[in-house]
Protein backbone atom coordinates (compact mmCIF):
# COMPACT_ATOMS: atom_id res chain seq x y z
CA UNK A 1 0.00 0.00 0.00
CA UNK A 2 1.38 3.35 -1.04
CA UNK A 3 0.47 5.89 1.58
CA UNK A 4 1.15 9.53 2.11
CA UNK A 5 4.19 8.43 4.12
CA UNK A 6 5.78 6.87 1.08
CA UNK A 7 5.33 10.06 -0.90
CA UNK A 8 6.61 12.24 1.92
CA UNK A 9 9.75 10.16 2.23
CA UNK A 10 10.33 10.08 -1.52
CA UNK A 11 9.91 13.83 -1.81
CA UNK A 12 11.91 14.49 1.33
CA UNK A 13 9.14 16.41 3.02
CA UNK A 14 6.64 15.77 5.81
CA UNK A 15 3.24 14.20 5.34
CA UNK A 16 1.66 17.55 6.13
CA UNK A 17 3.27 19.08 3.10
CA UNK A 18 2.09 16.26 0.87
CA UNK A 19 -1.40 16.75 2.22
CA UNK A 20 -1.14 20.46 1.54
CA UNK A 21 -0.21 19.83 -2.05
CA UNK A 22 -3.16 17.51 -2.49
CA UNK A 23 -5.57 19.97 -0.96
CA UNK A 24 -4.29 22.95 -2.90
CA UNK A 25 -2.93 24.93 0.01
CA UNK A 26 -1.26 28.13 -1.17
CA UNK A 27 1.52 28.02 1.36
CA UNK A 28 3.69 25.47 -0.43
CA UNK A 29 6.76 26.62 -2.32
CA UNK A 30 6.56 25.79 -6.04
CA UNK A 31 9.76 23.75 -5.94
CA UNK A 32 8.45 21.76 -3.00
CA UNK A 33 5.17 21.16 -4.74
CA UNK A 34 7.02 19.95 -7.82
CA UNK A 35 9.00 17.42 -5.80
CA UNK A 36 5.81 16.16 -4.19
CA UNK A 37 3.96 15.90 -7.45
CA UNK A 38 6.83 13.98 -8.99
CA UNK A 39 6.82 11.54 -6.11
CA UNK A 40 3.08 11.11 -6.44
CA UNK A 41 3.47 10.52 -10.13
CA UNK A 42 6.29 8.06 -9.64
CA UNK A 43 4.27 5.85 -7.31
CA UNK A 44 0.94 6.58 -8.98
CA UNK A 45 -0.27 7.55 -5.57
CA UNK A 46 -3.97 7.63 -4.79
CA UNK A 47 -5.03 8.94 -1.39
CA UNK A 48 -7.11 6.61 0.74
CA UNK A 49 -10.76 7.61 0.73
CA UNK A 50 -11.60 6.05 4.04
CA UNK A 51 -8.84 7.87 5.84
CA UNK A 52 -9.75 11.15 4.26
CA UNK A 53 -13.45 10.73 4.94
CA UNK A 54 -12.82 9.69 8.49
CA UNK A 55 -10.78 12.76 9.14
CA UNK A 56 -12.90 15.22 7.20
CA UNK A 57 -16.23 13.81 8.34
CA UNK A 58 -17.67 14.04 4.88
CA UNK A 59 -17.73 11.68 1.92
CA UNK A 60 -18.99 13.82 -0.94
CA UNK A 61 -21.12 10.86 -1.95
CA UNK A 62 -24.84 11.09 -2.45
CA UNK A 63 -27.14 8.14 -2.84
CA UNK A 64 -29.97 7.97 -5.34
CA UNK A 65 -32.60 5.53 -4.17
CA UNK A 66 -34.90 4.16 -6.79
CA UNK A 67 -36.92 1.08 -7.36
CA UNK A 68 -35.25 -0.09 -10.55
CA UNK A 69 -32.78 1.27 -13.04
CA UNK A 70 -34.68 0.35 -16.16
CA UNK A 71 -37.23 3.17 -16.31
CA UNK A 72 -36.18 5.47 -19.19
CA UNK A 73 -37.95 8.48 -17.70
CA UNK A 74 -36.10 8.11 -14.43
CA UNK A 75 -32.86 7.47 -16.27
CA UNK A 76 -33.07 11.04 -17.55
CA UNK A 77 -33.83 12.32 -14.07
CA UNK A 78 -30.80 10.45 -12.78
CA UNK A 79 -28.68 11.98 -15.52
CA UNK A 80 -29.79 15.37 -14.30
CA UNK A 81 -28.75 14.44 -10.77
CA UNK A 82 -25.40 13.17 -11.95
CA UNK A 83 -24.62 16.23 -14.01
CA UNK A 84 -25.50 18.54 -11.15
CA UNK A 85 -23.56 16.48 -8.63
CA UNK A 86 -20.51 16.56 -10.85
CA UNK A 87 -20.64 20.35 -10.89
CA UNK A 88 -20.94 20.40 -7.13
CA UNK A 89 -18.05 17.99 -6.78
CA UNK A 90 -20.28 15.28 -5.41
CA UNK A 91 -20.32 11.71 -6.48
CA UNK A 92 -23.62 9.99 -7.24
CA UNK A 93 -24.28 6.37 -6.34
CA UNK A 94 -27.38 4.74 -7.74
CA UNK A 95 -29.02 2.29 -5.35
CA UNK A 96 -31.85 0.08 -6.53
CA UNK A 97 -34.34 -1.07 -3.94
CA UNK A 98 -36.57 -3.22 -6.14
CA UNK A 99 -39.38 -2.00 -3.87
CA UNK A 100 -37.89 -3.78 -0.88
CA UNK A 101 -38.37 -1.87 2.36
CA UNK A 102 -35.44 -3.72 3.83
CA UNK A 103 -33.11 -2.60 1.07
CA UNK A 104 -34.36 0.94 1.34
CA UNK A 105 -33.63 1.05 5.05
CA UNK A 106 -30.28 -0.56 4.44
CA UNK A 107 -29.28 2.19 2.03
CA UNK A 108 -30.54 4.95 4.28
CA UNK A 109 -28.56 3.46 7.13
CA UNK A 110 -25.49 3.74 4.94
CA UNK A 111 -25.80 7.46 5.36
CA UNK A 112 -25.91 7.19 9.14
CA UNK A 113 -22.84 5.02 8.83
CA UNK A 114 -21.22 7.94 7.04
CA UNK A 115 -20.90 6.20 3.73
CA UNK A 116 -22.66 9.08 2.01
CA UNK A 117 -23.62 12.61 2.97
CA UNK A 118 -27.23 12.48 1.85
CA UNK A 119 -29.74 10.93 -0.52
CA UNK A 120 -32.27 11.65 -3.20
CA UNK A 121 -35.24 9.34 -2.94
CA UNK A 122 -37.28 8.63 -6.03
CA UNK A 123 -40.34 6.87 -4.70
CA UNK A 124 -40.04 5.55 -1.18
CA UNK A 125 -41.73 2.29 -0.25
CA UNK A 126 -41.58 2.93 3.46
CA UNK A 127 -44.52 4.05 5.49
CA UNK A 128 -44.34 7.80 6.12
CA UNK A 129 -43.62 7.49 9.84
CA UNK A 130 -41.08 4.79 9.22
CA UNK A 131 -39.29 6.86 6.60
CA UNK A 132 -39.37 9.82 8.94
CA UNK A 133 -37.87 7.72 11.72
CA UNK A 134 -35.26 6.03 9.56
CA UNK A 135 -33.84 9.21 8.14
CA UNK A 136 -33.66 11.09 11.42
CA UNK A 137 -31.71 14.20 10.61
CA UNK A 138 -29.84 13.07 7.55
CA UNK A 139 -30.17 15.27 4.46
CA UNK A 140 -32.79 13.88 2.07
CA UNK A 141 -34.62 15.23 -0.95
CA UNK A 142 -37.60 13.59 -2.63
CA UNK A 143 -37.70 13.63 -6.39
CA UNK A 144 -40.58 12.95 -8.81
CA UNK A 145 -42.48 10.81 -6.32
CA UNK A 146 -42.91 11.99 -2.75
CA UNK A 147 -44.69 11.69 0.54
CA UNK A 148 -46.34 14.82 1.89
CA UNK A 149 -46.21 16.28 5.38
CA UNK A 150 -43.13 14.54 6.68
CA UNK A 151 -40.88 17.52 6.31
CA UNK A 152 -38.76 16.20 3.47
CA UNK A 153 -38.36 18.71 0.63
CA UNK A 154 -39.28 17.63 -2.87
CA UNK A 155 -39.06 18.34 -6.58
CA UNK A 156 -41.87 17.24 -8.85
CA UNK A 157 -44.47 18.33 -11.34
CA UNK A 158 -48.09 19.09 -10.56
CA UNK A 159 -49.41 15.63 -11.36
CA UNK A 160 -53.03 16.52 -10.75
CA UNK A 161 -52.89 19.41 -13.16
CA UNK A 162 -51.04 17.39 -15.78
CA UNK A 163 -53.61 14.61 -15.62
CA UNK A 164 -56.38 17.18 -15.74
CA UNK A 165 -54.96 18.64 -18.92
CA UNK A 166 -54.43 15.25 -20.52
CA UNK A 167 -58.04 14.33 -19.83
CA UNK A 168 -59.23 17.75 -20.94
CA UNK A 169 -57.38 17.24 -24.21
CA UNK A 170 -59.38 14.05 -24.81
CA UNK A 171 -62.65 15.72 -23.83
CA UNK A 172 -62.04 18.58 -26.22
CA UNK A 173 -61.56 16.05 -28.98
CA UNK A 174 -65.17 15.16 -28.32
CA UNK A 175 -64.58 11.98 -26.34
CA UNK A 176 -67.19 11.07 -23.76
CA UNK A 177 -66.29 7.65 -22.45
CA UNK A 178 -62.74 8.04 -21.24
CA UNK A 179 -61.06 5.11 -19.56
CA UNK A 180 -58.14 5.51 -17.19
CA UNK A 181 -55.50 2.84 -16.83
CA UNK A 182 -53.47 3.18 -13.69
CA UNK A 183 -51.54 1.29 -11.04
CA UNK A 184 -52.93 0.51 -7.63
CA UNK A 185 -49.96 1.55 -5.54
CA UNK A 186 -49.12 4.09 -2.89
CA UNK A 187 -47.32 6.47 -5.23
CA UNK A 188 -48.61 9.97 -5.16
CA UNK A 189 -48.38 10.26 -8.94
CA UNK A 190 -50.97 7.52 -9.40
CA UNK A 191 -53.28 9.08 -6.87
CA UNK A 192 -53.01 12.64 -8.15
CA UNK A 193 -53.37 11.60 -11.77
CA UNK A 194 -56.55 9.77 -10.94
CA UNK A 195 -57.76 12.86 -9.11
CA UNK A 196 -56.92 15.11 -12.06
CA UNK A 197 -58.71 12.74 -14.41
CA UNK A 198 -61.83 12.75 -12.22
CA UNK A 199 -61.72 16.50 -11.76
CA UNK A 200 -61.65 17.06 -15.51
CA UNK A 201 -64.58 14.71 -16.06
CA UNK A 202 -66.42 16.53 -13.33
CA UNK A 203 -65.70 19.98 -14.69
CA UNK A 204 -66.93 18.98 -18.13
CA UNK A 205 -70.07 17.32 -16.87
CA UNK A 206 -69.06 13.74 -17.59
CA UNK A 207 -70.12 11.29 -14.97
CA UNK A 208 -67.35 9.25 -13.43
CA UNK A 209 -67.75 5.53 -14.08
CA UNK A 210 -65.68 3.21 -11.83
CA UNK A 211 -65.79 0.60 -14.57
CA UNK A 212 -63.68 2.91 -16.67
CA UNK A 213 -60.76 2.72 -14.24
CA UNK A 214 -58.47 -0.18 -15.03
CA UNK A 215 -55.67 -1.09 -12.66
CA UNK A 216 -52.58 -3.15 -13.36
CA UNK A 217 -48.89 -2.74 -12.75
CA UNK A 218 -46.31 -0.78 -14.71
CA UNK A 219 -45.30 -3.82 -16.77
CA UNK A 220 -46.17 -3.91 -20.43
CA UNK A 221 -47.51 -7.44 -20.37
CA UNK A 222 -49.66 -6.94 -17.31
CA UNK A 223 -51.25 -3.79 -18.72
CA UNK A 224 -51.92 -5.66 -21.95
CA UNK A 225 -53.74 -8.36 -20.01
CA UNK A 226 -55.80 -5.82 -18.10
CA UNK A 227 -56.81 -4.05 -21.28
CA UNK A 228 -57.71 -7.34 -22.94
CA UNK A 229 -59.91 -8.17 -19.97
CA UNK A 230 -61.54 -4.79 -20.27
CA UNK A 231 -62.46 -5.25 -23.90
CA UNK A 232 -63.29 -8.93 -23.56
CA UNK A 233 -65.78 -8.20 -20.81
CA UNK A 234 -67.67 -6.10 -23.30
CA UNK A 235 -66.71 -2.70 -21.91
CA UNK A 236 -66.27 0.07 -24.43
CA UNK A 237 -64.63 3.50 -24.40
CA UNK A 238 -63.69 6.15 -26.93
CA UNK A 239 -60.52 7.32 -25.18
CA UNK A 240 -57.91 6.09 -22.74
CA UNK A 241 -55.69 8.11 -20.45
CA UNK A 242 -52.80 5.97 -19.19
CA UNK A 243 -50.50 6.98 -16.34
CA UNK A 244 -47.48 5.69 -18.26
CA UNK A 245 -46.44 5.39 -21.86
CA UNK A 246 -45.83 1.68 -21.52
CA UNK A 247 -49.38 1.21 -20.38
CA UNK A 248 -50.55 3.45 -23.20
CA UNK A 249 -48.66 1.23 -25.63
CA UNK A 250 -50.39 -1.82 -24.18
CA UNK A 251 -53.72 -0.07 -24.47
CA UNK A 252 -53.09 0.71 -28.13
CA UNK A 253 -52.06 -2.83 -28.90
CA UNK A 254 -55.00 -4.33 -27.08
CA UNK A 255 -57.45 -1.95 -28.73
CA UNK A 256 -56.04 -2.68 -32.16
CA UNK A 257 -56.22 -6.41 -31.52
CA UNK A 258 -59.87 -5.93 -30.72
CA UNK A 259 -60.43 -4.22 -34.03
CA UNK A 260 -60.48 -0.60 -32.90
CA UNK A 261 -58.77 2.11 -34.90
CA UNK A 262 -56.47 4.51 -33.05
CA UNK A 263 -57.28 7.39 -32.77
CA UNK A 264 -60.55 7.25 -34.73
CA UNK A 265 -62.32 4.78 -32.45
CA UNK A 266 -60.20 5.28 -29.37
CA UNK A 267 -57.85 8.16 -28.62
CA UNK A 268 -54.95 7.45 -26.26
CA UNK A 269 -52.80 9.65 -24.06
CA UNK A 270 -49.79 8.41 -22.09
CA UNK A 271 -47.37 9.92 -19.62
CA UNK A 272 -43.58 10.53 -19.54
CA UNK A 273 -42.64 10.82 -23.22
CA UNK A 274 -40.32 7.84 -23.38
CA UNK A 275 -39.06 6.25 -26.60
CA UNK A 276 -41.92 3.82 -26.76
CA UNK A 277 -44.08 6.74 -27.90
CA UNK A 278 -42.39 6.53 -31.29
CA UNK A 279 -42.45 2.78 -31.51
CA UNK A 280 -46.15 2.22 -31.50
CA UNK A 281 -48.24 2.98 -34.53
CA UNK A 282 -49.63 5.60 -34.23
CA UNK A 283 -47.19 7.46 -32.01
CA UNK A 284 -48.36 8.27 -28.52
CA UNK A 285 -49.66 11.62 -27.31
CA UNK A 286 -48.10 12.10 -23.90
CA UNK A 287 -47.31 14.38 -21.00
CA UNK A 288 -43.67 15.37 -21.02
CA UNK A 289 -41.70 16.53 -18.00
CA UNK A 290 -38.40 18.34 -17.70
CA UNK A 291 -36.60 15.28 -16.43
CA UNK A 292 -33.07 16.58 -16.47
CA UNK A 293 -33.99 19.73 -14.63
CA UNK A 294 -35.96 17.72 -12.11
CA UNK A 295 -32.83 15.76 -11.28
CA UNK A 296 -30.50 18.72 -11.16
CA UNK A 297 -32.91 20.74 -9.02
CA UNK A 298 -33.10 17.87 -6.54
CA UNK A 299 -29.32 17.61 -6.39
CA UNK A 300 -28.86 21.32 -5.87
CA UNK A 301 -31.43 21.22 -3.11
CA UNK A 302 -29.64 18.32 -1.47
CA UNK A 303 -26.31 20.09 -1.61
CA UNK A 304 -27.80 23.04 0.23
CA UNK A 305 -29.27 20.71 2.80
CA UNK A 306 -25.95 18.98 3.37
CA UNK A 307 -24.24 22.33 3.74
CA UNK A 308 -26.83 23.26 6.34
CA UNK A 309 -28.26 26.07 4.25
CA UNK A 310 -31.88 27.07 3.88
CA UNK A 311 -33.93 25.36 1.19
CA UNK A 312 -37.46 25.69 0.00
CA UNK A 313 -39.83 22.90 0.88
CA UNK A 314 -41.08 22.22 -2.61
CA UNK A 315 -40.18 22.85 -6.24
CA UNK A 316 -42.88 22.29 -8.83
CA UNK A 317 -41.67 22.08 -12.41
CA UNK A 318 -43.68 22.65 -15.53
CA UNK A 319 -44.95 19.91 -17.82
CA UNK A 320 -46.44 19.95 -21.30
CA UNK A 321 -48.65 17.83 -23.47
CA UNK A 322 -47.15 16.54 -26.70
CA UNK A 323 -49.87 15.79 -29.20
CA UNK A 324 -49.23 12.86 -31.51
CA UNK A 325 -51.11 10.41 -33.67
CA UNK A 326 -52.67 8.39 -30.89
CA UNK A 327 -55.06 11.24 -30.13
CA UNK A 328 -55.06 13.67 -33.01
CA UNK A 329 -54.21 11.46 -36.00
CA UNK A 330 -51.85 12.60 -38.74
CA UNK A 331 -52.01 16.31 -39.24
Residues 10-49 that bind a copy of itself (CB under 8 A): 44, 46-49
Q: Is 22 in the site for DNA (CB under 7 A)?
A: yes
Pairing of strands 285-289, 118-122: unpaired
Comparison of 95 and 194: residue with beta carbon closer to a copy of itself: 95
Q: Is 53 in the site for a copy of itself (CB under 8 A)?
A: yes
Name the binder of 19 from a copy of itself, DNA, none, CB < 5-8 A by kind.
DNA
Q: Is 13 in the site for DNA (CB under 7 A)?
A: yes
Stretch that binds a copy of itself, among 94-102, 124-132, 142-150, 229-237 (CB under 8 A): 94-102
Q: Is 1 in the site for a copy of itself (CB under 8 A)?
A: yes
Q: Is 3 in the site for DNA (CB under 7 A)?
A: yes
Name the binder of 23 from a copy of itself, DNA, none, CB < 5-8 A by kind.
DNA
Q: Is 47 in the site for DNA (CB under 7 A)?
A: yes
In whole angstroms, the minimum distance from the beta carbon of 141 to a copy of itself comes to 19
SS (H, E, C) the chain: CCCHHHHHHHHCCCHHHHHHHHCCCCCCCHHHHHHHHHHHHHHCCCCCHHHHHHHHCCCCEEEEEECCCCCHHHHHHHHHHHHHHHHCCCEEEEEECCCCHHHHHHHHHHHHCCCCCEEEEECCCCCHHHHHHHHCCCCEEEECCCCCCCCCCEEEECHHHHHHHHHHHHHHCCCCCEEEEEECCCCHHHHHHHHHHHHHHHHCCCCCCHHHEEEECCCHHHHHHHHHHHHHCCCCCCEEEECCHHHHHHHHHHHHHCCCCCCCCCEEEEECCCCHHHHCCCCCEEEEECHHHHHHHHHHHHHHHHCCCCCCCEEEECEEEECCHHHHCCC
**Distance in angstroms (rounded) separating the CA atoms of residues 263 and 330:** 10
Name the binder of 224 from DNA, a copy of itself, none, CB < 5-8 A by kind.
a copy of itself
Residues 209-268 that bind a copy of itself (CB under 8 A): 219-221, 224, 249, 253, 256
First to last CA, the chain: 67
Stretch that binds a copy of itself, among 27-35, 188-196, 274-282, 313-321 (CB under 8 A): 274-282
Q: Is 309 in the site for DNA (CB under 7 A)?
A: no
Question: Could you say which of 1, 129, 330, 331 contacts DNA (CB under 7 A)?
Answer: 1
Q: Is 177 in the site for a copy of itself (CB under 8 A)?
A: no
Give the residues lining the site for DNA (CB under 7 A). Answer: 1, 3-5, 12-20, 22-23, 26-29, 31-32, 45-48, 51-52, 54-57
Give the residues lining the site for a copy of itself (CB under 8 A). Answer: 1, 44, 46-51, 53-54, 57, 59, 68-72, 75, 78-79, 82, 93-96, 98, 109-110, 112-115, 136, 219-221, 224, 249, 253, 256, 275-276, 278-281
Amino acid sequence: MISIQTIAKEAGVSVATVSRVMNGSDSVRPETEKKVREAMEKYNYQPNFSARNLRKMETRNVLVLMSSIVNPFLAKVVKGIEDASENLDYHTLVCTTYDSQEKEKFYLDMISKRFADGAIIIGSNLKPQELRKTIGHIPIVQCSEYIVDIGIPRVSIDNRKAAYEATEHLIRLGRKKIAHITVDNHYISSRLRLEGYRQALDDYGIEFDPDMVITGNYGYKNALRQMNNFFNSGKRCDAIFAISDRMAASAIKSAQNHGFKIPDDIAVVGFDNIDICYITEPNITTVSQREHEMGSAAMNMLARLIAGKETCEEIVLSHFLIERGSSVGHR
